[in-house]
Amino acid sequence: MCGIIGVSNHEEAAKVAFLGLYALQHRGEEAAGIASYDGKDIHITKAVGLVADAFDERSLGALKGNVSIGHSRYSTTGSSNVKNVQPFLAMHRNKPLAVAHNGNLTNTETLYKRLEDEGAIFQTSMDSEIIVHLLARMKNGDIKDRFISVLSQLEGAFSLVLLVGDMIVGVRDPQGFRPLCLGKLGDGYILASETCALDLTKAEFVREIEAGEVVLITGNKIESFFLPEKPNRNKSFCIFENIYFARPDSNIFSDNVYQVRKRLGARLAREHPVKADFVMAIPDSGNYAALGYSQELNIPLEVAMIRNHYIGRTFIQPSQFMRDFRVRVKLNPIKTVLKDKKIIVIEDSIVRGTTSRSRVEELRKAGVKEIHMRISCPPIRFPCFYGIDFPSQSELIAANKSVKEIADFIKVDSLEYLSLEGMLSVVKASKDFCHACFSGRYPVPISTTQGKYLLETNKTTGS
């Protein structure tokens, strides 16, 4: 999962991109980068770390030009290192070609081997670089024909923002796995993963980029067209965006994330009610489902855990060691509120189970009498190959244990999950959502060798 942004026709394009990335920080905390173009030279700054750490006034001042693209990275193909920081930049026919990619290609190995056989030399282990090589090889036709030819070769999830000379290009794959929206700022346009980036930059929301749409922006002129439809392929918006990843103040997939999470909590309450002294959330992503659960059953809601907001999102840290450390320092229970109480704890999801177990242990130490945990999505039993970093079933506790066994492992008095039907009932156009991580029904075929480190030497598992 990553955050992407593109800015066109703005005298401070790079600074606007910086603000947009700051708003999209939750989508990737490993690295950030911005590329800009001034009509003559390409400028780029990339660094490992948070957006605020990757840029300063001097580096932003050096990013000249009225067009720019940016990226905040959470690695799902390729290791977390400097060479894999985006945007990925190349020069082609004396013009810059840069790409910022959110999602995962599923035919990476096939395309990579073909390009290597044709003489391509790869600089990174990201599937995103494949897109640049394909574009550079297209010689005939106008830019629309070239993009159709290249993008039609890609399989999987790809929301893209590209810088092609002084043009900004936005792309959303035909299934629409990852969100992408269009905003208007002055005489220019902004492309961004979520609408919260438009809010911070004071851009006016225009619309979502549609599944399969390609948008070409030059100055204040905009043109769009659609990729050819593939047989037996339906829209497949990622439901986990609404459950966990997207910011609650964003509107994605024609809905508001805050409202969807509240509806998930209300449906969860109807499916799995329980008597207790109060409802509490695991902050922050569980807050809104907890509110819906509380209101549905008319049980008080308490803020019984305080989050340290200087600690990043636990799930998207690249190593188990860092996840364990951040779990310990991220949340602190309020003992006077919790002591001798029967509580309902609302979590947005359980992936590996170790984080939930640590949190329950802290609640027990605070003197809680009973803990009833409710999860606002179904059990995650299958890996995701479309841009979320749980690619191995061995890592997924629900793939290897029953609900009762999970409850015993995390040491709660009861545990219940929202049903698949219940989850889909609260979103608009439920048939348009991908739920492969819950159901195992993959909307786009998966390679048997697909994995985060596919493109790295001596590893068999590769944005």
Q: Is residue 452 one of the residues assigned to a domain?
A: no
242 in a structural domain: no
Closest to 296 measured CA to CA, from 376, 404, 377, 379: 376
The torsion angles phi and psi of 406, rounded to 5 degrees, stand at -65, -45
Residue 452 has pLDDT above 70, yes or no: no
The CATH number covering residue 82 comes to 3.60.20.10
Confidence of residue 458 (pLDDT cuts 50, 70, 90): very low
Same domain, 99 and 204: yes
Residue 423, Cβ density class (10 Å: 0-12 exposed, 13-18 middle, ≥19 buried) = buried
Tell me, yes or no, whether 47 and 171 share the same domain.
yes
**36 and 102 within one domain:** yes
* Per-residue pLDDT tens digits for 193-244: 999 999 999 999 999 999 999 999 999 999 999 999 888 889 999 999 999 9
Structural domain of 194: 3-236
The Cβ of residue 80 has, within 10 Å, a number of other Cβ atoms equal to 15
Judge if 183 and 44 occupy the same domain: yes
> Of the candidates 236, 267, 287, which is a domain's last residue?
236
Residues 124, 461: Cα–Cα separation, whole Å: 15
Q: Say if 359 falls within a structural domain.
A: yes
Average pLDDT over residues 458-462: 35
State yes or no: pLDDT of 151 exceeds 80. yes
231 and 263 together in one domain: no
| pLDDT at 312 (0 to 100) | 54
Whether 302 shows a pLDDT value over 70: the answer reads yes
> Mean of the per-residue pLDDT values for the chain?
91
Residue bearing tokens 């629309």: 144
431 CB-near residues (< 8 Å, 6+ apart): 234
Instruction: pLDDT band for 392, please (50, 70, 90 cuts).
Output: confident
DSSP string, 396-435: -HHHHS-HHHHHHHHT-SEEEE--HHHHHHTSTTGGGEE-
Give the separation between CA 317 and CA 212, rounded to whole angstroms: 31
* Nearest alpha-carbon partner for 386 in 57, 149, 104: 104
Backbone angles phi, psi at 4, to 5 degrees: -130, 150
pLDDT for the residue numbered 448: 62
Of 229 and 65, the structure prediction assigns the larger pLDDT to 65
13 and 162 assigned to the same domain:
yes
The pLDDT-based confidence of 391 (bands split at 50, 70, 90) is: low
Band of pLDDT at residue 139, cut at 50, 70 and 90: confident
2, 377, 384, 434: the catalytic one is 2
Same domain? For 215 and 271 the reply is no
* 158 part of a folded domain: yes
Q: What angle do CA 21, 24, 27 make, to 5 degrees?
A: 125
- Number of domains within the chain: 2
Residues 223 and 133 in one domain: yes
Q: Decide if pLDDT at 75 tops 80.
A: no
Amino acid 53: pLDDT: 93
- Is 2 designated active site? yes
Q: Is 326 inside any structural domain?
A: yes
**69 shares a domain with 165:** yes
Q: What is the pLDDT of residue 232?
A: 80
Q: How confident is the model at residue 460 (pLDDT cuts 50, 70, 90)?
A: very low
* Per-residue model confidence (pLDDT) at position 9: 97
109 and 191 part of one domain = yes
* Residue at which a domain ends, from 236, 269, 297: 236
Q: How confident is the model at residue 462 (pLDDT cuts 50, 70, 90)?
A: very low
157 and 269 housed in the same domain: no
246 in any annotated domain: no
Integer Cα distance of 291 and 449 in angstroms: 42
Q: Classify residue 455: in a domain, yes or no.
A: no
310-368 pLDDT tens trace = 655 555 555 555 555 555 567 889 999 999 999 999 999 999 999 899 999 999 999 99
| Structure-token pair, residue 186 | 């002055």
**What per-residue confidence (pLDDT) applies to 326?**
59
Q: What is the CATH number of the domain that holds 351?
A: 3.40.50.2020
pLDDT value at residue 461: 32
Query: Does 274 lie in the same domain as 170?
Result: no
Q: Take residue 358 and report the two structure tokens written for it.
A: 């640590």
Whether 450 is covered by a domain: the verdict is: no
User: Whose CA is closest to 339, among 298, 304, 372?
Assistant: 304
